[in-house]
Amino acid sequence: RTGSGVFGVIGIDLSERSMDAFENSVLLSILGECALAVENRRIALEKERATMQAQNEQLRANLLRTISHDLRTPLTSISGNASNLLSNGETLDTETRNKICTDIFDDAQWLIGLVENLLSITRIEDGRMNLQISPQLMDEMIEEALHHVNRKSCEHTITTQYGDEILLVNVDARLIMQVVVNLVDNAIKYTPVGSVIRISAYRKDHQVVVEVADNGPGIPDRAKAQVFEMFYTGQSRIADSHRSLGLGLPLCRAILTAHGGTLTLRDNVPNGSVFSFALPQSEVNIHE
């Protein structure tokens, strides 16, 4: 026991002989050390819980502050463009109206993508994401994902390369496609117009590896450890200032971790970045 209470009880069979004073003193010393160890462990766990709670509160505050700040720009843009159409729609030429409608559509799509990312990462963190696992071909998922990337992809050259082997994985196809979309959109945002984005998939050591490489300005070494943190956004001037809350990469890592996979970053040679993820390969069963 300690001053804060009793942690346990020990019983010793003394039917054959009793303890002498020395043995009794040693036993009490051992029990005292055990009690101190238990109390220290309890205090450490309480501190850990308090720290985690403080971090969660800080994370929640950062989320609200970041969203409140960054959503103002696209919402103001949507409201202003819609007001312009309502007030001056008849006097605007076709090209101007199309440009305004395109801006409204882009901002709305960005807001939808943000909400999807927020919902997904919240469910994964809370353990409420129910994975719909089934055998999927990686190349087919990549091709489907490319139909949903940022419309600005037409300003870049996107290429794909697959090996000759069958790349089969047991995954939730919707979530893995979201990973591919986020990685490609990220490359589009942080590389200049005309950059080349190369997507490749191949088998390595019983894993299926997917790489998204670009030839943009790359990521400084000092920032590599931060890119997977929530709310971290790169300082590249190329990026659209109101189109990155820093949720894409943390969400990708969370999704891949839930699938038993990994997400890594390395430099592209001679310039640019390569994001790659690996998933356990699924066996191909051929039924005759």
pLDDT tens string 186-202: 888 888 888 999 999 99
Question: Whole-model pTM?
Answer: 0.63
Helix (H) or strand (E) holding 162: strand 157-162
pLDDT value, residue 269: 87
Looking at the DSSP bridge assignments, the partners of residue 134 are 171
- Category of 265 on φ-ψ map: left (φ > 0), alpha (ψ -120 to 50) or beta: beta
DSSP string spanning 19-80?
--HHHHHHHHHHHHHHHHHHHHHHHHHHHHHHHHHHHHHHHHHHHHHHHHHHSHHHHHHHHH
Taking the CA atoms of residue 187, residue 124, residue 280 and residue 183 in that order, the dihedral angle to the nearest 10 degrees is 0
Domain boundaries, the chain: 71-125, 134-280
8 Å CB contact between 247 and 225? no
Summarize pLDDT for 63-122 with one digit per residue, the tens: 666 666 667 778 888 999 999 899 988 888 889 989 899 889 888 877 877 777 677 766
144 contacts 181 by C-beta, under 8 angstroms? no
> What pLDDT is attached to residue 240?
44
> How much is the pLDDT for 182?
86
The separation between CA 102 and the C-alpha centre of its own chain, rounded to angstroms, equals 29
Contacts of 247 (CB under 8 A, 6+ apart): 114, 117, 118, 121, 230, 231
Instruction: Answer yes or no: is pLDDT of 170 > 50.
Output: yes
Burial (CB < 10 A; 0-12, 13-18, 19+), residue 51, is: exposed
Per-residue pLDDT, averaged over 259-283, amounts to 90
- Nearest of 246, 245, 254 to residue 277 by alpha carbon: 254
What CA–CA distances, in Å, run from 219 to 57, 233, 283? 30, 11, 36
- The listed CATH number (1.10.3720.10, 3.30.565.10, 3.30.1360.80, 1.10.1200.10) that belongs to domain 134-280: 3.30.565.10
Exposure on the CB side of residue 212, measured as CA atoms within 13 A: 23
Q: Is the Cβ–Cβ distance between 238 and 217 less than 8 Å?
A: yes
pLDDT at residue 229 in the model: 72
Band (pLDDT 50/70/90 cuts) for residue 165 is: confident
Name residues whose C-beta falls within 8 Å of residue 236's C-beta, 6 or more positions apart in sequence: 190, 217
What's the confidence (pLDDT) of residue 284? Answer: 63
Could you check whether the bond before residue 135 is cis, i.e. omega within 30 degrees of 0? no
pLDDT for the residue 239: 42
pLDDT over threshold 90, residue 160: yes
Amino acid at 48: E
Residues 168-176 have a mean pLDDT of: 90
pLDDT score, position 238: 42
Q: What is the DSSP letter of 195?
A: -
